[in-house]
Amino acid sequence: MASANRSAQRAAEILADLDQGFRSRYLSYRELTTQVQGWARAFPDLVRLSSIGETPEGRSMWLITIGIDPDRIRPAVWVDGNMHASELCGSSVALAIAEDMLRLHLGLSGPALSSPVISRLHEVLFYVLPRMSPDGAESVLDTGRFIRSIPRDQRVDKNLARWRIGDVDGDGRAMRMRVEDPCGEYVESAEFPGLMLLRDIDDEGPFYNIYPEGTIENFDGHTIPRPTYLSAGPIDLNRNFPWQWAPEPQQLGAGPFPLSEAESRAVVEFTTQHPHIFAWLNCHTFGGVFIRPMGDKPDNKMEPTDLALFRQIGAWAQEHTGYPMVSGFEDFTYEPEKPLHGDLTDYAYHHRGCIAYAVELWDFFRAVGFDRDRCKRFVDQYTHLAREDIIAIARWDREYNHGRILKPWTEWQHPQLGKLEIGGLDPLVGIWNPPYEKIDSICRDQSAAFLRVAALAPAVRDGSIELIPQSEGLVHLRIRIDNHGYLPTYILSSAQTLPMCEPLYAEISTEGCALAPTEHPRREIGHLDGWGRGLYSGAGALSLQSSRGNSSSREISYLLRRGAQGGRVCVRVGSCRVGWFERWIDIPDE
């Protein structure tokens, strides 16, 4: 015991030495690389580091695999962060989940989880991609400019005027520009100097137009184009995935064709080769909400057992984080009933058969003091902001965020637009991402919520084994195969028809004995149910308590002929979705 304590103590010291500070700030690519390489070097029995691909700017898309015996295929979960360049907190949460799993394997304290959950987690493999868009994130960290996903623009149409976002005044940050204009759409707040408010009919001016800090490409000297959230790069990776992909203009940000980008392609290539991934957490910022399937249909069109499962996961998620879990279609279409195309979690749910959902980290609205129930659909929280709400945000920034968001305006002579002011707004830390002081608690809550989901993994193993002697040197081998996990071996009801959702098979090989001539070494076992039923599936009603038979178990049997010394057999059972296990069984001589 003393030596176990000593080795845990030593492991804790190593982890502390390797820590690059992702729970208290946002790491650069170099720091993130140091972090994951450090873990892989220090704990080779628990961590594999690989790159699923290289970005056009030459950065690795680091993937960490965590688990005891990390190369053994078994039920696995996937976590990705930072597919949207400015959403840096996703990297922190993904790294925190990886580190918490490391701590769990090393016998160190981590999220408060029950011992049954912890013991299940010992068997689950974790794939963690902390930064899907390292080029995008690096550009945001270096310049402060808003980039949706990737800092590339390979559009073939080159004639239209468009904004080039970047640092104009040489202070190293790309913020906002305001230009005084009698037709301006904004005014400055009287009570909060520098804070800009949408113009109202009673306002007296002066009035301003607001643009991103930058210059205009193809400027004709007077026409100012409308900036968009895709001005710094026309592709949104979260519209570039293959499930129900649709081109522009039907889907803004779609890219020229599905998986046109190195980042999205690498994710799909890896996960296609790893069908044992059963749960998928896609980390975004901000808002404080989990967004689950379906993205394109209302809940009454969803497989009811899938829905019951998501209800359970949503209840845990709320318990740990305070965030609600909402349907993408019902609460998160920017225009009601107009689904997004090419979304990652839709791909993961429909194509990969995963319990997939996104989280918008950082409950900004509640931090500022807004009532969660002020909007019927969650997505409206982002836009239904009255003047007093904007002022409340400014006050919160000053009192609780060290004024990181609202910056003074400074006069500048712009090469194209003439005299204007630069500054105003830097939303990176406080809006797009939580304040540094909040990262740690967000990491802890999110990790606990997701680790519980990971513990749903199916767990196929052998149950009772019987050897029944028969006449003439024959012996009858009977093995019960059990699924001890919450989830069935097909994971989701909606996934059962996917080609990769193959049934379990058993195959026997013999040493020093033989199969009876009538026997074939391969047996189809089929799928095994798990014991879990989701939340409010109907099975919870007291008056209806009743199990589904013993559908989590199946018995297989083989007739064997003993060898002179008895012999032994190996039974291998599994599928590509849940991995395989092998059991060696000695056959005694008579």
In the bound state with Zn ion, the residue whose beta carbon lies nearer, of 32 and 289, is: 289
Binding site for Zn ion (CB under 5 A): 84, 87, 284
- Least CB distance to Zn ion at residue 225 (A): 24
In the bound state with Zn ion, the residue whose beta carbon lies nearer, of 131 and 523, is: 131
In the bound state with Zn ion, the residue whose beta carbon lies nearer, of 111 and 233, is: 233
Residue corresponding to tokens 């009570």 = 191
Q: Are 31 and 20 in contact (CB under 8 A)?
A: yes
Phi, psi of 377 (to 5 degrees): -100, 135
- Least CB distance to Zn ion at residue 483 (A): 35
In the bound state with Zn ion, the residue whose beta carbon lies nearer, of 87 and 188, is: 87
Identify the sign of the CA torsion 173, 174, 179, 184: negative
In the bound state with Zn ion, the residue whose beta carbon lies nearer, of 87 and 331, is: 87
Nearest-CA neighbor of 75 among 132, 106, 121? 121
Is residue 475 classed as helix, strand or coil in its secondary structure? strand
In the bound state with Zn ion, the residue whose beta carbon lies nearer, of 83 and 168, is: 83
Q: Give the chain's end-to-end CA distance (angstroms, integer).
A: 44
- Least CB distance to Zn ion at residue 213 (A): 22
Q: Residue with CB nearest Zn ion?
A: 284
The secondary structure of residue 563, as a DSSP letter, is B
Nearest-CA neighbor of 235 among 214, 268, 272, 264? 264
478 C-beta neighbours (distance < 10 Å), count: 13
Give the whole-angstrom CA distance, residue 447 versus residue 251. Answer: 33
For 430: left if phi > 0, alpha if psi spans -120 to 50, otherwise beta; the answer is left
Angle between helices 89-105 and 436-454 (to 10 degrees): 50
In the bound state with Zn ion, the residue whose beta carbon lies nearer, of 87 and 169, is: 87
Residue corresponding to tokens 């059963």 = 278
Tokens coding 508 = 């026997």
In the bound state with Zn ion, the residue whose beta carbon lies nearer, of 32 and 85, is: 85
Give the whole-angstrom CA distance, residue 5 versus residue 253. Answer: 52
